[in-house]
Amino acid sequence: MSSEQTVMSSEQKVAIITGASQGIGAGAAQAYRKLGYAVVANSRHITSSADPGVLAVPGDIADPETGARLVDRALEHFGRVDTLVNNAGVFVAKPFTDYTDADFDMVTGVNLRGFFSVTRRAIAAMLRNSGSRRGHVVNISTSLVDHANAAVPSALASLTKGGLNAVTRSLAIEYAARGVRVNTVSPGIIRTPMHPEETHDTLAALHPVGRMGDIGDIVEAIAYLETAEFITGEILHVDGGQSAGH
């Protein structure tokens, strides 16, 4: 690689995206490429991309070593880290007393341990960037944290994603003066393969606007926060009005 190519690659911004093989994560990866970012894309079984601007790094984000590896690979391959999108998450809807220890370990492993491992290393890398705008962390939460629904028992989602909402504010304030922003997108129910077609009418009715969200609705919110330099510590609800009431 020539020195000119090295300079060019080191100046290109780099986004790490977890849960990037499908759904919101795959959409976010495409959006960041359109913004000119290189992307480090992670999921448990992600496959290599033909796009040289996308580095696929497979691994279970619940494994503490995966978060460190994502940041290390980003630095080795692209030279920097500018954005982290904590999209990987698991959702188990059960009555609270039916949850098992295995459910707890799985949900907290992905939603909290995964967040902690990769975000701690990513922010450390962002702080090595020059200038006053050093980095951005975007978390994906759920509107159920603010809008509990008897039809969707979700205590473990609220326990873990509620933690992400809280730490968003904490980290935003801790790092505001050092040029790292931290925000969260809080979706309603999004039309993904996780929800069978026959459930869509019922799920649409749970939103005041009368429809489910689309992947593009969430991706647009992530892209907006990326370019909104005066916003940090924000929980952006993209939920068809759920958090406002019903």
- What would the pLDDT profile of 69-87 be if each residue is shown by its tens digit? 999 999 999 999 999 999 9
The pLDDT score that the predictor gives to residue 202 is: 87
Q: At a CB cut-off of 8 Å and minimum separation 6, what does 229 contact?
A: 133, 181
Per-residue pLDDT tens over the stretch 116-127: 999 999 999 999
Instruction: With cut-offs at 50, 70 and 90, classify the pLDDT of residue 2.
Output: very low
Arithmetic mean of pLDDT, 11-26: 95
The pLDDT score that the predictor gives to residue 199 is: 87
| Mean per-residue pLDDT over the chain, rounded | 93
Whether residue 245 has pLDDT greater than 60: yes
Arithmetic mean of pLDDT, 44-68: 96
Per-residue pLDDT tens over the stretch 141-157: 999 999 898 888 999 99
The pLDDT score that the predictor gives to residue 8 is: 40
Least confident of 32-36, 193-197, 200-204: 193-197
- Angstrom distance (rounded) from CA 235 to CA 223: 14
Dihedral over alpha carbons 62, 63, 68, 72 (to 10 degrees): -100
Q: Give, to the nearest 10 degrees, the angle between helix 101-108 and helix 155-175.
A: 30
DSSP 24-62: HHHHHHHHHHHTT-EEEEE-TT----S-TTEEE----TT
DSSP 106-152: HHHIIIIIIHHHHHHHHHHHHTTS-SS--EEEEEE--GGGTS--TTS
161, 145 in Cβ contact below 8 A? yes
Q: Which CATH class is domain 3-244?
A: alpha beta
Instruction: With cut-offs at 50, 70 and 90, classify the pLDDT of residue 7.
Output: very low
Beta bridge partners of residue 17, listed in sequence order: 41, 85
Whether residue 5 has pLDDT greater than 70: no
Q: Tokens 């006053």 label which residue?
A: 132
Per-residue pLDDT tens over the stretch 211-224: 999 999 999 999 99
